[in-house]
């Protein structure tokens, strides 16, 4: 005898269908319609169960992850093309006539790709390198001291003209603070300034505090909030740069990225003050 609490299986449903066919015509019609309606309800129940099952959630998560991976890959390849950094020998300098080849090793070892996958925006210019690998942490650290191996490059007259730090020879000397001991350096004339101290047994590199301040202004109108960066130009003009942000933290991040794009020589050297305008009706 069938347990009434257990749904009928396929074989039991077929037996019922065969019994319906043997009913008198006047009963077979309405019982058959009722049976068809029960089958539709059973199929709809199965569809709902499938849509809310863990397997369905895993499939949706997998599809979202693949979509995000595609977006991240596109951002990575665009950065390789436009900026052309990674330290990989297969990426030619601009102007480029053909997209560079990308091997599996380039993907696995790319710190830029890993950075993008973590949700961080790529710099619009190459960062310093540490033994051939992009050194993003150095650019983004606030005042941390890094022990490094460095040497000062001099011309034929013995004058200091550049610095080689951790195998990267693209450091420019901005100023000599203490003769043959301390220097102010900047990578390729872009990004933060660093104080390079030569000593025994190791040298050290520390990011300098910001040299300028710029205000970020919050405005609220009609329940909507927006952030703008007040940027003062050399000619006295003040440009209001719209920032795509919903929080102060994101506004500061967007302002830093705008500076990196428009004024790369000042990137990492600007701190932000917060200005909150009075609410106004929209």
pLDDT at 168: 93
Residue 140: partners with Cβ closer than 8 Å, 6 or more residues away: none
Tokens representing residue 59 in the block? 């499939």
Q: Side-chain half-sphere of 149: how many Cα atoms within 13 Å?
A: 6
DSSP states of 144-156:
-EEEE-EEEEE-T
Q: Indicate the helix (H) or strand (E) that contains 205.
A: strand 203-207
Q: What is the pLDDT of residue 89?
A: 42
Handedness of CA 10, 12, 16, 21 (dihedral sign): positive
Number of Cα atoms under 13 Å in the Cβ half of residue 51: 6
What pLDDT score was predicted for residue 217?
94
The model's pTM is: 0.60
For 48, 77, 150, 182, the CA distances from 203, given in Å and listed in that order, are: 65, 35, 6, 10
Q: Are 162 and 197 in contact (CB under 8 A)?
A: no
Q: Report which of 81, 78, 87, 79 is spatially closest to residue 100, judged by C-alpha positions.
A: 81
Euclidean distance between CA atoms 179 and 211, whole angstroms: 23
d(CA 260, CA 196): 22
The domain locations on the chain are: 10-51, 143-207, 212-276
* pLDDT score recorded for residue 1: 45
- Burial track 23-36 (b if 16+ CB lie within 10 A, e otherwise): eeeeeeeeeeeebe
Per-residue pLDDT in tens (0 to 9) along the chain, 282 residues: 455 567 776 667 667 767 777 778 777 777 777 777 777 777 766 666 655 555 556 666 676 677 667 766 776 777 777 776 544 444 445 555 566 566 777 777 777 777 777 767 777 788 899 998 888 888 877 778 999 999 999 999 888 999 999 999 999 999 999 988 999 999 999 999 999 999 877 899 999 999 999 999 998 877 778 899 999 998 989 999 999 888 888 889 889 989 998 999 999 999 999 998 755 444
* Model pLDDT, residue 187: 94
Rounded CA separation 72/80 (Å): 12
CB under 8 Å, gap of 24 or more: what pairs does 238-243 form? Answer: 243/216
Q: Do β-strands 238-243 and 224-232 pair in parallel, antiparallel, or remain unpaired?
A: antiparallel
């Amino acid at each position: 005898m069938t347990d009434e609490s257990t749904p009928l299986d396929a074989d039991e449903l077929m037996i019922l269908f065969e019994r319906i066919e043997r009913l008198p015509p006047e009963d077979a019609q309405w019982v058959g319609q009722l049976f068809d309606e029960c089958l539709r309800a059973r199929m709809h129940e199965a569809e709902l169960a499938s849509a809310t099952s863990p397997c369905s959630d895993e499939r949706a998560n997998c599809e979202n992850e693949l979509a995000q991976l595609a977006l991240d890959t596109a951002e990575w390849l665009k950065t390789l093309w436009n900026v052309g950094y990674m330290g990989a020998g297969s990426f030619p300098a601009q102007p480029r006539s053909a997209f560079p080849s990308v091997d599996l090793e380039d993907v696995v070892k790319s710190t830029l790709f890993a950075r993008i996958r973590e949700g961080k925006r790529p710099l619009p210019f190459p960062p310093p390198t540490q033994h051939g690998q992009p050194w993003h942490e150095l650019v983004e650290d606030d005042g941390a001291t890094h022990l490094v191996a460095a040497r000062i490059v001099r011309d034929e007259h013995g004058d200091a003209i550049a610095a080689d730090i951790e195998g990267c020879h693209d450091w420019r000397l901005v100023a000599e603070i203490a003769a043959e001991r301390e220097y102010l350096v900047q990578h390729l004339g872009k990004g933060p300034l660093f104080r390079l101290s030569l000593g025994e047994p190791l040298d050290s590199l520390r990011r300098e505090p910001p040299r300028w301040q710029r205000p970020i202004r919050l405005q609220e109108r009609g329940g909507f909030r927006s952030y703008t960066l007040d940027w003062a130009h050399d000619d006295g003009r003040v440009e209001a740069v719209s920032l795509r942000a919903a929080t102060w933290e994101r506004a500061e991040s967007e302002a830093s990225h705008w500076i990196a794009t428009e004024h790369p020589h000042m990137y990492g050297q600007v701190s932000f003050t917060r200005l909150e305008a009075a609410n106004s009706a929209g």
